[in-house]
Amino acid sequence: MKYLIVDDCAHTRWLLKKRLLQKWPSAEIEEYDPAVSGLPDPRYPWSRHDIVLLDYDLGLDAETGIDLLVRIKDSPHPPIVIMVTGMGNENVAVNAIRKGADDYLVKNDVATDRLFEMISDAVRARETAAQSADAAADVRRELGDWDIPGYRCLAVVAKGLSTTTLRAERLSDHKPVILKVLQIQKNGGNATAVKRFTQEIEILSRLHHPHVIEILDHGHIGDRIHYYATEYIHLGDLARCIERGGVTTARALDYVSQIASGLEALHRQNIVHRDVKPSNILFKDRDTLVIADLGIAKNLAGVEALTVMGDILGTPYYISPEQINNRPVDQRTDIYSLGVMFYELLTGRVPYAGNSLFAVVYQHNHEPVPKLPPPLARYQPVLERMLAKSPEQRYSDMGEVMNALAAVGT
């Protein structure tokens, strides 16, 4: 790390240099006395330093450290600047920060660890900003020259054929969010994709439930870009939790009950999710799950199903027999998929697996429900009904599922 100490006091320069070398022996440190040399030349290459420790009182008749601070920050690729002063003046501190200082240090703190903490924090903040800028540049290269009004896009989370999921920041309050963006190609794009995306927005907009992800905003830019923002949930999904193992029986029952509650809210709106699987169940906090990704949900009130075959066959472990066979679906389809997840949470594996897609599909259609280990046998009757091949033999709704789970208990 390369430092420049700008101060008219030789003792302060000596003390700063000594302290920096105590902490970072390999640091490269230069000193500059403005009382002797005046202000540096306007063409001075400030970018060759990583950090400038700048005194407020430079010992000059007219200029202060604030004047030099402005010049430094206006230079190409400016370094970190920490304003150092013997005055505990709050107005000086506020003015320095407003003019671009990265932090402000009273000289009495030079002899304390506050100096090291401030430098470390400033370096960390600079690195974070650089990473964010790089991520934003990656987003720009990935998506082209467009912006979502009111948001700063930070990173690409996932990218599909027509939609892109982004981690972003809402500019009005710096709230972290997830943006899901649909881009329509210049040739007109896919009408089905637009219908699916619009339907997902409509579903989320009218639902307010603790176990369904909340939509914060939505809109479009012309005819080619549609988007919506949801709360940013960074604690991972249920799939990762299952992969790590160690889900207790009590926890499995709680998770299934929470998901059933959220699905019941969807079903009351005549919506079938149709893609219930662990990767679509997110942890809002350590104990609370929310249902996400309603991209292939179906409105039972009359909107046509918007399923593309690849959507459901891409994750065959949780698909219902009626989906496989292209038969009518209702809320009992979600009960089947939740039954698969219940079995997986209890045992750590899905009930139907195989070396090929067709092997898994065949088992969904023809194989009996695998038996649970003896300590879990009391849940077998519940699973048998949830995973019945015929929808008519399953529970009729999620309320019945939750009642059955509560009756069996832990």
Residue 166's domain spans which residues?
A: 146-231
CATH number reported for the structural domain that contains residue 389 in this entry:
1.10.510.10
* pLDDT, tens digit, 9 for 90 and up, residues 153-196: 888 877 776 778 888 889 998 889 988 888 776 665 567 777 77
Residues 101 and 201 in one domain: no
Q: Tens of pLDDT along 243-257?
A: 888 789 999 999 999
Bridge partner list, 152: 169
Q: Amino acid letter at 38?
A: G
Same domain (yes/no): 266, 283:
yes
Do 23 and 85 share a domain, yes or no? yes
Same domain, 121 and 154: no
Convert the pLDDT of each residue in 328-367 to its tens digit.
899 999 999 999 999 999 999 999 998 888 899 999 999 9
Q: What average pLDDT does the chain have?
A: 86
pLDDT digits (tens, 9 = 90+) for 294-314: 655 555 444 343 444 444 444
Question: Which one of 275, 293, 334, 397 is the catalytic residue?
Answer: 275
Residues 261 and 219 in one domain: no
pLDDT, residue 199, reads 75
CATH code at position 10: 3.40.50.2300
- The pair of three-digit structure tokens given for residue 304, joined into one six-digit string: 């046509």
Cα distance between residue 114 and residue 371, in whole Å: 62
- Is 14 contained in some domain? yes
Q: What is the CATH number of the domain that holds 207?
A: 3.30.200.20
User: Domain check: are 305 and 402 in the same one?
Assistant: yes
71 with 162, same domain: the answer is no
Q: To which H or E segment does residue 398 belong? A: helix 398-408
Establish if 137 belongs to a structural domain.
no
Is pLDDT of 127 > 80? yes
The residue out of 166, 196, 231 marking a domain boundary is 231
Asked if 390 and 336 touch (Cβ cutoff 8 Å), the reply is no
Count of structural domains, the chain = 3
Return d(Cα 378, Cα 361) in angstroms, integer: 27
- Does residue 151 sit in helix, strand or coil? strand
- Rounded Cα distance between 191 and 286, Å, is 39
Domain end marker among 107, 131, 155: 131
User: To the nearest whole percent, how much of the chain has pLDDT over 90?
Assistant: 53
* Among 320, 209, 352, residue whose Cα is nearest residue 268: 209
- pLDDT band for 144, please (50, 70, 90 cuts): low
**Number of other CB atoms surrounding residue 36 within 10 Å:** 9
Helices and strands per DSSP (H, E), number in the chain: 14, 14
Asked about 275 being catalytic, the answer comes back as yes
At 405, the pLDDT band (50, 70, 90 cuts) reads very high
One domain, residues 320 and 380? yes
End-of-domain residue from the set 99, 131, 163 = 131
To which residue do tokens 């907009």 refer?
Answer: 205
Long-range contacts of 133-139 (CB under 8 A, 24+ apart): 139/166
